[in-house]
Amino acid sequence: MPRTTPPRPADVEEPFPGLAEFRRTATRLHPRPGDPKTQDSSVAGPMLWPADEPWPMCTAVHPKGTGHLLADVRLARRIHAASEGRKKTEEEIALLGALRNGLHDPGIGDADPIPMLAGAQLWARDIPDLTGPEGYDLLQVFWCPFEAHGPDASVDVVLKWRRSQDIGAVLGEQPEPLVVGSPECVPQPCELHPEQIVEHEYLGLLPEDLQEAVATWEEQLLDEDEEEAEADFPTEYSSDLSLAPGWKVGGFATWHLTDPRTVDCTVCGTSMPPLLTAHHVEWDPASESWAPPEDRRPDLYRHVITPTGVYLGRGYLRIHTCPTDAFHPHQLSLQ
């Protein structure tokens, strides 16, 4: 079932034609729990990975034996999904109660390699904003299941761009880590329902006169429209008109927790926009205007609000790639 973003509550380029300069498309991925196949675009689905190629491994030095068993994370999710809308049975409560966060692999050393998790597989044919190297039609995204890398203590990400016609025999059983740092590092397999939408630059990165004009316009909306004035979350540029919530490819980045910064390529200095954003919710009460009508059913709540189960950074992990050469090293930004 396709997902459709409702029209924006206002055409913000009408009062502010100058915003056209700060417009960019994004593709909302609309991940929903499902059973994706090797040939599909997916979150955490099986990868179209060549049988004769080594699987991406984390070789960075950090503790790898303490955390949650990956199998336990999946068991807990199955129990929560199966018991949705009813009380859990005593057996389910006992099973959940027995799951432990602790040392599960005492034999593993900090420098030992562990398989990375399959994060996302994205086809250019499905995702119009997936811009990669010329001739490459598939992006595979992996991450280490431990938030233990770099100054931000984030996951480490590996990107693999592919020409799908070069892939011969496909790997059957895909390697997985035994232990993960936290359940929130583990994506739930999701099918994608990509939809291209229009975004506008993060408010704090617009020219100052435009920022002020937008703020004045928001106040006027409140003064002139009784419905807006009484709404819990009145229409706002930031939440309704600029950036789409949820997982997406392309578009702009929010900087609501830190000062905005540019992410520049370490090789050629080009400013790197976010290629993939992994957001912990698909929308929240303030950004509910982005909720597709297909999903507005209370019984679907968990499946549509937190479909992937992923919570990285403080809710947002973004992977930035170089528009000049997608093989230049990517960078991460977190919010």
Q: Shortest approach of Zn ion to residue 126 CB, angstroms?
A: 25
DSSP-derived secondary structure letter, 118: E
Comparing CB distances to Zn ion, the nearer of 233 and 327 is 327
CA–chain centroid gap for 330, Å, is: 16
CB of 15 within 8 A of CB of 217?
A: yes
Amino acid at 276: L
Q: Shortest approach of Zn ion to residue 70 CB, angstroms?
A: 14
Comparing CB distances to Zn ion, the nearer of 1 and 267 is 267
Q: Shortest approach of Zn ion to residue 131 CB, angstroms?
A: 13
- Between CA 190 and CA 17 the distance in angstroms is 38
Residues that bind Zn ion (CB under 5 A): 58, 60, 144, 146, 265, 267-268, 270, 322, 324, 328
CB atoms within 10 A of CB 316: 21
Comparing CB distances to Zn ion, the nearer of 238 and 324 is 324
Comparing CB distances to Zn ion, the nearer of 254 and 321 is 321
**Structural element, H or E, at residue 179:** strand 179-180
- Per the DSSP assignment, residues forming a β-bridge with 179 are 69
Task: Evaluate the CA torsion angle 246, 249, 251, 254 in order and state its sign.
Answer: positive
Comparing CB distances to Zn ion, the nearer of 60 and 96 is 60
Q: Shortest approach of Zn ion to residue 334 CB, angstroms?
A: 16
* Sheet strands side by side (includes 179-180): 102-103, 66-69, 179-180
CB of 141 within 8 A of CB of 155?
A: no
Q: Shortest approach of Zn ion to residue 331 CB, angstroms?
A: 10
Q: Shortest approach of Zn ion to residue 136 CB, angstroms?
A: 16
Comparing CB distances to Zn ion, the nearer of 102 and 133 is 133
DSSP-derived secondary structure letter, 258: S
Comparing CB distances to Zn ion, the nearer of 19 and 265 is 265
Comparing CB distances to Zn ion, the nearer of 243 and 319 is 319
CA–chain centroid gap for 169, Å, is: 29
Structure tokens of 30?
Answer: 């609309």
> DSSP string covering 115-137, please?
EPEEEEEEETTT-TT---STT--
Q: Shortest approach of Zn ion to residue 250 CB, angstroms?
A: 17
Q: Shortest approach of Zn ion to residue 263 CB, angstroms?
A: 11
CB of 199 within 8 A of CB of 26?
A: yes
Burial class of residue 111 (count of CB atoms within 10 Å of its CB; 0-12, 13-18, 19+): exposed
